[in-house]
């Protein structure tokens, strides 16, 4: 009996590094299938990444409805761009770069739309309307002690730099590549973000 029992080995718990490696290999296979037009594979990638992409978009945009729209834009653009994805960057990093670009493009469209509206109003009443895009702090920011609310209250460009570097953990060089900012400008925005957060959270 003892010799028989000695042959029964307890189930081995997968080592975390081995599990991570298998998950990475599984994702690479999904990406490869999706690149070749497999809709089911892309849907699985969507379910794997949509939550984190939404969290990023919510922090970047500061508004849930726009964040959901940005998630949709991100995955639509990702599907269209997948045939050109060669794996030089991590798939998550690639997705996040698309999300940042979607936000920047939306802001550019907003500025152009606002400029056109301003010109029309100039012609109608001779008064130039103020151009939107400047930051307007929410009325309750003075009493905010929650970090997420304080981040959402940051000016858009400063918030974008802070979220990508401090929250998502990208390096200065990676953030500069995503946003098109010079490294010096990025460092200045990060410094401003920290100062504004310290001020907001100390109120």
Domains and CATH numbers, the chain: 23-126 (1.10.1740.10), 139-203 (1.10.10.10)
* pLDDT the model gives residue 52: 93
Alpha helix positions (H), the chain: 2-6, 16-35, 39-61, 64-81, 91-125, 147-152, 156-162, 172-179, 183-201
Q: For 181-203, how does the pLDDT look when each residue is reduced to its tens digit (9 = 90+)?
A: 898 999 999 999 998 888 887 76
Residues 6+ apart with CB under 8 A from 137: 153
* pLDDT the model gives residue 46: 95
CA-based angle 189:193:198, to the nearest 5? 150
Q: Which two tokens stand for residue 171?
A: 């390096």
Q: For 66-122, how does the pLDDT look when each residue is reduced to its tens digit (9 = 90+)?
A: 999 999 999 999 999 999 898 878 899 999 999 998 988 887 776 655 544 333 444
> Stretch 150-173: mean pLDDT, rounded?
89
Confidence at 125, pLDDT banded by 50, 70, 90: very low
| Higher pLDDT pick, 127 / 188 | 188
Per the rule left: phi > 0, alpha: psi between -120 and 50, beta: everything else, 134 is beta
CA-based angle 98:100:105, to the nearest 5? 90
Assess whether pLDDT exceeds 70 at residue 158: yes
Backbone angles phi, psi at 59, to 5 degrees: -70, -35
Closest alpha carbon to 59 in 70, 45, 48: 70
| Higher pLDDT pick, 85 / 24 | 85
* pLDDT the model gives residue 1: 39
* pLDDT the model gives residue 86: 84
- Residue 106 and residue 70: Cα distance in Å, rounded? 9
Burial per residue of 74-107, b for 16 or more beta-carbon CB atoms within 10 angstroms, e otherwise: bbebbeeebeebeeeeebeebbbbbbbbbbbeee
Q: For 32-57, how does the pLDDT look when each residue is reduced to its tens digit (9 = 90+)?
A: 999 999 999 999 999 999 999 999 99
């Amino acid at each position: 009996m003892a010799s028989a029992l000695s042959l029964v080995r307890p189930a081995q718990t997968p080592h975390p590094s081995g599990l991570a490696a298998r998950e990475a290999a599984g994702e690479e296979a999904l990406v490869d299938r999706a690149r070749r037009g497999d809709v089911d594979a892309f849907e699985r990638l969507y379910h794997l990444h949509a939550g984190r992409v939404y969290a990023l978009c919510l922090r970047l945009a500061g508004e849930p409805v726009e964040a959901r729209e940005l998630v949709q834009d991100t995955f639509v653009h990702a599907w269209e761009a997948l045939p050109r994805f060669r794996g030089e960057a991590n798939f998550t990093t690639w997705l996040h770069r698309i999300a940042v670009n979607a936000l920047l493009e939306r802001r550019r469209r907003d500025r152009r739309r606002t400029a056109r509206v301003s010109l029309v109003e100039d012609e109608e009443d001779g008064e130039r309307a103020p151009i939107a895009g400047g930051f307007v702090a929410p009325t309750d920011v003075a009493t905010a002690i929650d970090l997420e609310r304080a981040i959402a209250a940051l000016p858009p460009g400063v918030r974008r730099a802070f979220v990508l570097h401090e929250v998502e953990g990208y390096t200065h060089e990676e953030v500069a590549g995503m946003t098109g900012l010079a490294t010096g400008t990025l460092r200045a925005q990060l410094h401003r973000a920290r100062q504004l957060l310290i001020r907001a959270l100390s109120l």
